[in-house]
Amino acid sequence: MNDRINVLIHGATSAADVPGLTEAAGLARLRFACSLAELQRELPGCQALLGWDFRAGDLRKAWRHAEDLRWIHWAGAGVDALLFPELVSSNVRVTNARGVFDQPMAEYVLGLVLAMAKGFPATLAAQAERRWSYRTVERIAGKHALVIGAGSIGRAIARALRAAGLTVSGVGRSVRETDAAFGHVHAIGELDALLPSSDYVILVTPLTAQTRGLFNGARFARMHAGARFINVGRGALIDEDALIAALTGDTIAGAALDVFQHEPLPADSPLWRTPNLFVSPHMSGDTHDFQQAVAQQFMDNLRRFVAGQPLLNRIDKAQGFASAEQVST
């Protein structure tokens, strides 16, 4: 390309809001939009868009102004909020922030497993009351974790848990007899048979039409009474009322949610008051420097886009996630 392309940054007011974006000045003319009105005004003539606020939902409303758009980079791992029908059926390429959040999320999940097994909430509660509360706790070595979602985040979680002494198996779209991270990956159709023998069930699969509502009352009932459940995928993967019932009825021993059907979680949600439940505000992958990593990833792809090279982390829009190879033409 002889002329600089136009790139719209959705969710930022200036280049100062995105670390390292000033490097893009030699490659592109930058535009910025935070509101729907700004998006509708700035989108015409733009060939590329960075979804910096990956929770923003205005793009579909402005889609008729995207006649020149050819590529979207989404600053998150999950792209379910982006893949509306008009975009899916278009020729616009979509890439995501695959890889940035893998290790941080794995560390977060390991931390939750340790907190549950070692009773950290009870320790902190006793400390706040200046109460000496001696008790024994569980060991995690030898426990079995089932990771549902065999992509890059799930694989990082598997490696972290194995290093801590747990045995780990995975669930994906299809069977993989040998896998470096999991050992064995089971097909999603085997999920019900795997739940009774799993001590920790960790949900990290993308949200698609096939996985929406994956965990309901029947699936929680298949877990054993000492098992724990962790969801760091998407809130709509589970029936939250069914989880509350499973915890209050002692069907399972504990749970942790980092994602919710409605975010921010309303103050009157019963989840805040549910016993043996960790609630965190969709932060499992967000380290102090994650924005720099996401911005650098976008810059790498912007150089590729301008040069006509294959883009990294290309999303299969029909499936709703990036291919394993992470590179597509």
Q: Catalytic residue positions?
A: 234, 263, 282
**CA–CA gap between residue 17 and residue 70 (Å, rounded):** 24
For 103, 157, 159, the CA distances from 179, given in Å and listed in that order, are 18, 14, 11
User: Which residues of the chain form beta strands (DSSP E)?
Assistant: 5-10, 28-33, 48-51, 71-74, 93-95, 144-148, 167-172, 176-179, 183-187, 200-203, 228-231, 254-257, 277-279, 311-312, 315-316, 321-322, 327-328
Query: Nearest-CA neighbor of 185 among 155, 212, 213, 209?
Result: 155
Distance CA 83, CA 148 (A): 22
130 backbone dihedrals φ, ψ, rounded to 5°: 55, 45
Measured CA to CA, the distance from residue 223 to residue 228 in angstroms comes to 9
Whole-number Å distance between alpha carbons of 103 and 109: 10
Looking at the chain, how many residues does it have? Answer: 329
Which residues face 168 on adjacent strands? 145
What is the C-alpha to C-alpha distance for residues 245 and 11, in angstroms, rounded to an integer?
Answer: 38
Question: Three-state SS string across 58-75, please?
Answer: CCCCCHHHCCCCCEEEEC
Cβ neighbour number for residue 200 with a 10 Å cutoff = 25
